[in-house]
């Protein structure tokens, strides 16, 4: 079993749709949970991070963490064509010494 697994893509949705991206993990030591957006030919860009369980909202983006289920999600409301990118979940322990990425989900938002 891989340490971090991410829902298979690619995803293709119409503009304005709600998008749900999900990851599961196996290491209970993870405490920081990040979502990155990566455009083609670019490096990952941090969208949001959450510490431990709970929800966090930033504009059209909401991150949820359920540590009891070892499951994290990113929701994108009113999706836009500019949201078309690869989304990577990532997580680390308290000391940042174990920083692991999921394989990514490629999202296309069609006008």
Residue 58 binds to other proteins (criterion: CB under 8 A): no
> CA angle, 99 as apex, 55 and 41 as ends, to 5°?
90
CB of 8 closer than 8 Å to CB of 21: no
Residue 103 binds to other proteins (criterion: CB under 8 A): yes
Q: Which of 42, 52, 54, 81 binds other proteins (CB under 8 A)?
A: 42
Q: Which residue, among 110, 88, 108, has the nearest Cα to 38 in the 3D structure?
A: 88
Residue 85 binds to other proteins (criterion: CB under 8 A): no
Least gap, CB of 24 to other proteins (angstroms): 14
Separation of alpha carbons 76 and 60, rounded Å = 6
Least gap, CB of 87 to other proteins (angstroms): 10
Q: Which is nearer to other proteins, 15 or 57 (CB)?
A: 57
> CA angle, 30 as apex, 100 and 96 as ends, to 5°?
60
Residue 13 in tokens: 């949705």
Residue 3 binds to other proteins (criterion: CB under 8 A): no
Binding site for other proteins (CB under 8 A): 4, 6, 32, 34, 41-46, 49, 88, 90, 92, 96-97, 99-104
């Amino acid at each position: 079993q891989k340490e971090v697994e991410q829902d298979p893509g690619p995803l293709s949705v119409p503009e304005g749709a709600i998008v749900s991206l999900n990851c599961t993990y196996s290491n209970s030591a993870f405490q920081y949970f990040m979502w990155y957006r990566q455009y083609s030919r670019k490096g990952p860009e941090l969208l949001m991070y959450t510490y431990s369980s709970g929800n966090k909202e930033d504009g059209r983006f909401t991150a949820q963490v359920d540590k009891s289920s070892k499951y994290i999600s990113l929701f994108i409301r009113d999706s836009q064509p500019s949201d078309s990118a690869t989304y990577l979940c990532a997580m680390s322990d308290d000391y940042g010494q174990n920083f692991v990425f999921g394989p990514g989900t490629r999202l296309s938002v069609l006008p």
